[in-house]
Structure 1
Amino acid sequence: MRLDHIDLNLFVLFDALYRERNVTRVAMQLNLTQPAVSNALGRLRQSFDDPLFLRTPDGMQPTPVAERMVADVREALVLLRRSVGAGARFVPATSDKTFRLGMNDLAESLLLPALQSSLAHAAPGVAVASYYVDRASAVDELRAGRSDLLLDAPVFNARELRHAPLASLPYVVAMRRGHPLARRKMTEKAYLAAEHLHVSSRRRGRGQVEIALHSRNLRRRVSMRVQNYLVAARIAQQTDLLWTVPRVLLPLVDLVSRPLPFPVPPLEWHLFWHGNADGDPANQWLRQRLQALAGDLA
């Protein structure tokens, strides 16, 4: 099969159909009629001598051939889109670009209000969409261009990614104002005897505190593990659970804090992006903007 015999727009449709699994939604997204989408799918099937997508009660399901194709197709589309726009300058004041960011709710709380204020003045037409991105799919999200930037701990070692330090956030022990330990010095014995609250979107895995305690053959009792920081703050305000949290969050919650009675490394945040976006003017601009805002978090 020769590439010059294939309409490259068919790969745009392939990507949309893989994502949506629905011909009607693809037609609406691409501003086509349903018969036009069906016709294009027929041409794709003929080119690859495979059905590619099979109609099922759960939508259009990809065949094994389509599954093998999708990563390469998406990477090629990202490269083509960036190449088409490579000659164009990014002008924040007139851009209507939507940036897609992968981050958790702590990062949203600490960075997005300031980012929005900054954009309102420098780039009023620019929009931001923030999503939770699972670590298992993070590299694929960046490779496929579904996310422009990812904010996380420095846990990814994929050679195709680029990254830069963003912030280093020390931990403290937070508790409600009337907590029995609120007016006492926090000792290691008191810390380990208490019950604790922990925030993580993962089903399992040790956090910074557990790693630090494990290195000293110590353990704490985590009585409640939740998915986001707003919920954790409400729980800490209404119970006697201790919450070990980045100090920078304290101005946003009605809690008191004490220094940790043992050393725990700070929470390290890095910005990640795909190597294909390294020289993209818009991506560079947003990285610089976020790095400047994160400098105020220390």
Structure 2
Amino acid sequence: MQLQRIDMNLFPVLEAIYTTRNLTRAAEQLHITQPAVSNALARLRRTLGDPLFTRSPTGMAPTPLTESIMPRVQEALSLLGASLSEHRHFVPQEARKTLRLSMNDMAETFLLPRLLEVLEQEAPGIAVESFQVPREQLVKELAANTLDFALDIPVPTSPHIKQQRLMSDRYLCMLRQDHPLADSASLTLEQYLKLEHIHVSSRRSGPGLEDIALNKLGRRRNVKLRVQHYRVAPLVVLRTDLALTVPASLAQQYSARLFELPFQVPQMDWHLLWHKNQHDDPANQWLRNKLVSLIEE
């Protein structure tokens, strides 16, 4: 039987009759009239093709079909009630939900250990899924509620998307400690351009912020390796003569030689994005505040 053919408003009536075993008491429990209960039961009988209840000396006795479906019906009604209650009054310790985040591997490294530590203590029923959604798909996923938040650089979005700036991160050039240029006091533009570089991007092609800045100077660097993830790139630097232009917050985690860039590159701004439909949701507000506070730390 197709679920869309069933009037879901009838199932609370079914549950009330099952609990009270009496049409009048079911009506009182639901705050409706007894004829309205009888009418709802008649509609359910026609829809399901079963009497559902039969009269007996002890009241309305459930049929085998009713007995078989009631545990699931009661579970579904309970889950729906809990969801509606959570929407009105979010209690972190009682929450049961999955938080879905879009971010890259660098953001995962910074955020997830701290986030899971907080959730374990304050909201143990919240699970977390982290994956990276392409920027052109972010608006669609947030609108469809298949994604709760995105951590990304500021990108053009629709008026339906809310965003908050979290932090800024400047770029540095990273070389291994015993690189031939490691003893230099600073790095010149010509030295930078003579190096072979690692470029980090989840896309198969396209420039980075440093490439765009060099293009404005009429210059171009030599990209030797293109990788998807920031976490693997420093490991390559530590074993080769390749250079990596990388956010300072990541570069400073490694024992490497770090140089200020010899040209101007805009800082990397991290933004938190969410859909405006979720803006006033208590659960979204609580999680949003936690994410912001963790990043600010």
**Both proteins in one fold, TM over 0.5:** yes
After TM superposition, the structure 1 = structure 2 runs for residues 1-298 of structure 1, keeping only pairs within 5 Å, are 84=84, 87-184=87-184, 185-296=186-297
Alignment partners' CA distance in 2, 1:142 and 1:8: 28
Structure 1, residues 187-229: CA drift from partner, whole Å, max 9, x if none? Answer: 1110011111010001222211011111222211111110011
The CA deviation string for residues 105-151 of structure 1, in whole angstroms up to 9 with x for no partner, is 01001111121222222222322110111122211111111110011
TM-score (normalised: structure 2): 0.69
- Asked if the contact 1:186–1:259 (Cα under 8 Å) also holds between the matched residues in 2, the reply is yes
Q: CA RMSD in A?
A: 2.4
8 Å contact from structure 1 (residues 171, 245) kept in 2? yes
Percent of aligned positions with the same letter in both sequences?
45
SS at match of 1:252: coil
Pick which of 278-287 and 253-262 moved more: 253-262
Q: 1:250 deviation in Å? A: 2.6
State the distance in 2 between where 1:129 and 1:208 align: 29
- Deviation, 1:159, is 1.4
Distance 2:199 2:157 in 1: 26
User: What CA distance in whole angstroms lies between the structure 2 residues aligned with 1:289 and 1:257?
Assistant: 32
Q: Displacement of 1:96 after TM fit?
A: 2.6
Deviation at residue 156 of structure 1 after TM alignment: 2.8
TM-score by length of 1: 0.69
* 8 Å Cα contact 1:110-1:249 kept in structure 2: no
CA gap 1:156/1:243 in 2 versus in 1, 3 angstroms: same
Instruction: Tell me how far 1:100 sits from its aligned partner.
Output: 0.4
Structure 2, unpaired ranges of 5+:
10-79
Contact 1:164–1:270 at 8 Å: present in 2 too? Answer: yes
Give the CA deviation at 1:253.
3.0
CA displacement at 1:7 relative to structure 2: 5.3
Structure number with larger C-alpha Rg: 2
Show structure 1 runs of 5+ residues with no match.
10-79
What is the distance in 1 between the residues matched to 2:290 and 2:163? 15
Instruction: Give the secondary structure class of the aligned counterpart of 1:197.
Output: strand
